[in-house]
């Protein structure tokens, strides 16, 4: 008996100096990036080349230069095979108003090659998983934006793809709808085992959802790393201590003690309880030990010591500024 | 042989039925040609309002009935009066009913393609295995088939009626066959023209108006010109003028090759040589429509 082990591919998307030039604009400029399984965020301002990249990866638009592979298949020659294994949720509205969600998704499942019975079963399953119940028999025209987004997501998932491209799935949603959509995107990977490439121009929402973030700007790769990399390499520790009789201003005593040990400290301005919180950059495990020892030596009470995770947006901004500076200095 | 003990059911077993976790799909994926056929059947059903709202069933069904009723009446008259021949030739029927056919094309061609453009559903198709050409072929074939059903159904009524009236079997079968070939050509030509016009506009209203305008105005203009030419004695120009409207094109083809009596003024159809030109123009127009649709959808893409 032959056992076939299906090994998850190490990279689901790989591009190699991929360029796309239009007569007047360069949409992608020698983009080389590898994307592994999991949820990957593709971040960039409007017009950064996100949608162009998705079109090329679906094998619908030939690249001007370079090559790309999706699930190990070359986009230039294996477009149809890729599109059979991949789902796509467009950014814009794409639903006819006069049919029900069920009819529409069944039709789309058949367009993906599912036999009629399987198309019906998968449609019922998928609509339930994205959170559409009784309303799925009503015409789509009467749905709220959130429900329409769910139908769009369902049609991308109905054929059980190995990878889905979600183009700005949170667009136009209110904060609650946005959170629900992000939760759903997370589940697509954790519960359904489908890898996700999700685009957004909002960095904050990707931090919570994605394992990996790729930032492109002007068609160029700005940065590609895991979300934990983004937030851990620059960990800031927030420390708050109590005052004692010996040290009437405990915060000040702590700051001086840290200064004496060569740790740079800044007051947590702009944060709640600002004056009482010290922010220090963690150099590693020893910083935590140092804080513990100093607090004990001074006989202060430690109210809190917590990680202040940097937001991806801060990283993005600083990267962007660095790049601009480099351009200025270089030029 | 051991007595089988009833297996005690574990209390947890029943909950398995309600397990609504995600299930992967391991079944067959039937690929491009299946998807194209699915799109074809969905579009064909849609052309008669099936699988759509009741409102969208009204017009196509009504036009279908309007197409068939005169045929039924003719048959009834032929049977009752024991006539020796049907009052209308098989090939002539579609020409007489051309207004109904034009109305049908005008209402259903935009339904078939403008909706996908207007609601931007097209990218969802092209993000799946089918290619541009598959989409165009499925839509073209679906509308042509819908038109063939519309135009061939009354011919079947006539044929069955003719056999019931015990008219000459060989004669009737020949006429019926010629009629079928003629409406098949007509279906392809009208479907092509209708789809090209409809695919240019996402607005359904414009599409309907434009298709009606092209089909009826061209016929009106051409037959007027033909009448004038005939009245002024230059009847040799009549067949050449007929090349410029879809209805007269079909009329010309069938009077040259399918034994039809021409509806041209003076009932003078094109000669065989002229008929060859007619056939070439019809086939050329069908091919051109297909080519234009391909070009149109290459652009639409995602």
Of residues A113 and A244, more confidently modeled: A113
Quote the pLDDT of residue A93.
92
Name the residue among B22, B27, B129 with its Cβ closest to that of A84: B129
- What's the pLDDT band for B12 if we cut at 50, 70, 90? very low
Q: Which residues of B touch A110 (CB under 8 A)?
A: 34-35, 38, 42
- What's the pLDDT band for B4 if we cut at 50, 70, 90? very low
Average of per-residue pLDDT across B237-262? 88
Q: Residue holding tokens 């109590």?
A: A242
| Interface probe with A: pick from B46, B53, B128, B135, most Cβ of A within 10 Å | B128
Residue A306, both tokens: 């917590």
Check whether A21 has a pLDDT greater than 50: yes
Whether B116 and B159 have beta carbons less than 8 Å apart is answered as: no
A138 touches chain B (CB under 8 A): no
Distance from the Cα of A4 to chain B's closest Cα (Å) equals: 15
Q: How many CA atoms lie within 13 A of B69 on its CB side?
A: 7
Which ranges in A13-97 belong to alpha helices (H)?
A: 50-57, 79-85
Range from A94-98, A277-281, B238-242, B295-299 carrying the lowest mean pLDDT: A277-281
In 3D space, the residue among A46, A29, A82, A37 whose CA is nearest the CA of residue A219 turns out to be A29
Q: How many CA atoms lie within 13 A of A282 on its CB side?
A: 21
Check whether B94 has a pLDDT greater than 90: yes
Quote the pLDDT of residue B260.
81
Q: Which residues of A touch B29 (CB under 8 A)?
A: 84, 112-114, 159
Q: Residue holding tokens 């991949």?
A: A86
Check whether B128 has a pLDDT greater than 90: yes
Average of per-residue pLDDT across A218-246? 78
Residue A52, both tokens: 């162009």
Distance from the Cα of B44 to chain A's closest Cα (Å) equals: 14
User: Residue A315 belongs to what H/E stretch?
Assistant: helix A312-330
Pairing of strands A212-217, A220-226: antiparallel
Check whether B17 has a pLDDT greater than 50: no
Residue-averaged pLDDT of chain A: 84
CA distance readout (Å), A4 to A1, A36, A311, B38, B99: 10, 22, 43, 33, 63
Check whether A329 has a pLDDT greater than 80: no
Average of per-residue pLDDT across B233-237? 81
Of residues A49 and A265, more confidently modeled: A49
Helices B246-257 & B218-231 angle (0-180, nearest 10): 60
pLDDT digits (tens, 9 = 90+) for B209-220: 999 999 989 999
As for the ipTM of the complex, it is 0.85
Name the residue among B25, B120, B130 with its Cβ closest to that of A159: B25
Quote the pLDDT of residue A275.
67
User: Residue A148 belongs to what H/E stretch?
Assistant: helix A145-157
Average of per-residue pLDDT across B251-259? 89
SS3 A182: helix
- What's the pLDDT band for B230 if we cut at 50, 70, 90? confident
Name the residue among A92, A113, A115 with its Cβ closest to that of B120: A92
Average of per-residue pLDDT across B40-67? 92
Q: Do A94 and B119 touch (CB under 8 A)?
A: yes
Q: Do A128 and B21 touch (CB under 8 A)?
A: no
Find, in chain B, the residue whose alpha carbon is nearest to that of A194. Answer: B24
**What whole-number distance in Å separates Cα of residue B291 and Cα of residue B298?**
11
- What's the pLDDT band for B302 if we cut at 50, 70, 90? low
CA distance readout (Å), B236 to B226, B247, B253: 10, 19, 16
pLDDT digits (tens, 9 = 90+) for A126-156: 999 999 999 999 999 999 999 999 999 999 9
Check whether A165 has a pLDDT greater than 90: yes
Q: Which residues of B touch A160 (CB under 8 A)?
A: 24-25
Quote the pLDDT of residue A251.
85
Q: Which residues of B touch A112 (CB under 8 A)?
A: 29, 35, 128-129
Angle B139-B141-B146 (CA atoms, 0-180°, nearest 5)? 95
- What's the pLDDT band for B265 if we cut at 50, 70, 90? confident
Of residues A85 and A316, more confidently modeled: A85
Cα distance from N-terminal residue to C-terminal residue, chain A: 66
Q: Do B127 and A125 touch (CB under 8 A)?
A: no
In whole angstroms, what separates CA B137 from the centre of its chain?
A: 13
- What's the pLDDT band for B1 if we cut at 50, 70, 90? very low
Q: For chain B, which residues make up each domain, given as ranges?
A: 39-300
Q: Which of residues 95-124 of B touch A (CB under 8 A)?
A: 115-116, 119-121, 123-124
Quote the pLDDT of residue A303.
84
A204 touches chain B (CB under 8 A): no
Quote the pLDDT of residue B301.
64
Name the residue among B25, B53, B302 with its Cβ closest to that of A98: B53
Check whether A310 has a pLDDT greater than 70: no
Average of per-residue pLDDT across A171-195? 92
- What's the pLDDT band for B14 if we cut at 50, 70, 90? very low
**A vs B: CB pairs below 8 A:** 110
| Conformation bin of residue A113: beta by default, left when phi > 0, alpha when psi is -120 to 50 | left
pLDDT digits (tens, 9 = 90+) for B143-176: 999 999 999 999 999 999 999 888 889 999 999 9
Of residues A180 and A322, more confidently modeled: A180
Angle A30-A33-A38 (CA atoms, 0-180°, nearest 5)? 155
Average of per-residue pLDDT across A57-79? 93
Q: Which residues of A touch B51 (CB under 8 A)?
A: 99, 103
Check whether B204 has a pLDDT greater than 70: yes
Average of per-residue pLDDT across B12-39? 78
Residue-averaged pLDDT of chain B: 88
């Amino acid at each position: 008996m032959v056992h076939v082990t299906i090994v998850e591919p190490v990279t689901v998307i790989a591009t190699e100096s991929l360029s796309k030039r239009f007569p007047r604009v360069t949409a992608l400029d020698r983009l080389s990036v590898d994307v592994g399984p999991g949820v990957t965020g593709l971040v960039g301002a409007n017009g950064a080349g996100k949608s162009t990249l998705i079109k090329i990866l679906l094998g619908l638009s030939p690249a001007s230069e370079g090559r790309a592979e999706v699930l190990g298949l070359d986009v230039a020659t294996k477009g149809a095979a890729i599109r059979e294994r991949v789902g796509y949720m467009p950014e814009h509205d794409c639903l006819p108003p006069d049919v029900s969600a069920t009819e529409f998704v069944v039709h789309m499942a058949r367009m993906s090659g599912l036999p009629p019975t399987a198309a019906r079963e998968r449609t019922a399953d998928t609509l339930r998983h994205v959170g559409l119940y009784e309303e799925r028999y009503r015409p789509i025209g009467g749905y709220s934006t959130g429900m329409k987004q769910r139908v769009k997501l369902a049609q991308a998932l109905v054929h059980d793809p190995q990878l889905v491209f979600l183009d700005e799935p949170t667009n136009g949603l209110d904060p609650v709808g946005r959170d629900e959509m992000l939760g759903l995107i997370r589940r697509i990977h954790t519960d359904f085992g489908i890898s996700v490439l999700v685009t957004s121009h909002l960095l904050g929402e990707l931090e919570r959802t994605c394992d990996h973030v790729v930032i492109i700007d002007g068609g160029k790769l700005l940065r590609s790393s895991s979300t934990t990399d983004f937030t851990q390499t620059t960990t800031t520790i927030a420390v708050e201590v109590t005052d004692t009789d010996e040290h009437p201003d405990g915060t000040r005593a702590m700051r001086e003690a840290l200064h004496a040990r060569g740790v740079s400290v800044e007051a947590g301005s702009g944060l709640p309880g600002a004056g009482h919180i010290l922010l220090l950059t963690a150099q590693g495990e020893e910083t935590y030990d140092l804080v513990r020892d100093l607090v004990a030596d001074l006989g202060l009470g430690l109210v809190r010591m917590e990680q202040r995770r940097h937001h991806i947006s801060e990283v993005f901004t600083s990267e962007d500024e660095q790049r601009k500076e480099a351009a200025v200095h270089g030029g | 042989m051991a007595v089988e003990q009833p297996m005690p059911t574990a209390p947890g077993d029943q909950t398995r039925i309600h397990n609504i976790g995600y299930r992967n799909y391991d079944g067959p994926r039937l690929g491009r040609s299946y998807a194209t056929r699915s799109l074809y059947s969905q579009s064909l059903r849609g052309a008669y309002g099936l699988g759509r709202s009741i409102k969208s069933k009204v017009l196509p069904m009504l036009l279908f009935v309007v197409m068939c009723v005169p045929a039924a009446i003719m048959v009834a008259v032929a049977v009752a009066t024991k006539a020796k021949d049907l009052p209308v030739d098989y090939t002539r029927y579609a020409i007489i009913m051309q207004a109904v056919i034009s109305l049908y094309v005008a209402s259903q061609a935009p339904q078939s393609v403008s909706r996908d453009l207007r609601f931007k559903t097209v990218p969802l198709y092209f993000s799946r295995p089918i290619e541009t050409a598959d989409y165009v072929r499925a839509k073209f074939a679906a509308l042509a088939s819908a038109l063939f059903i519309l135009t061939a159904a009354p011919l079947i009524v006539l044929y069955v009626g003719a056999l019931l009236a015990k008219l000459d079997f060989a004669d009737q079968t020949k006429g019926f066959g010629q009629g079928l070939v003629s409406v098949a050509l007509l279906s392809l030509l009208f479907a092509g023209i209708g789809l090209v016009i409809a695919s240019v506009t996402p607005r359904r209203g414009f599409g309907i108006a434009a298709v009606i305008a092209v089909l009826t105005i061209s016929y009106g203009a051409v037959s007027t010109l033909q009448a004038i030419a005939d009245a002024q004695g230059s009847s040799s120009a009549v067949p050449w003028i007929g090349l410029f409207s879809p209805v007269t094109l079909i009329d010309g083809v069938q009077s040259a090759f399918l034994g039809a009596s021409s509806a041209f003024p003076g009932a003078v159809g094109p000669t065989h040589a002229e008929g060859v030109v007619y056939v070439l123009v019809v086939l050329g127009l069908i091919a051109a429509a297909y080519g234009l649709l391909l070009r149109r959808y290459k652009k639409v893409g995602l």
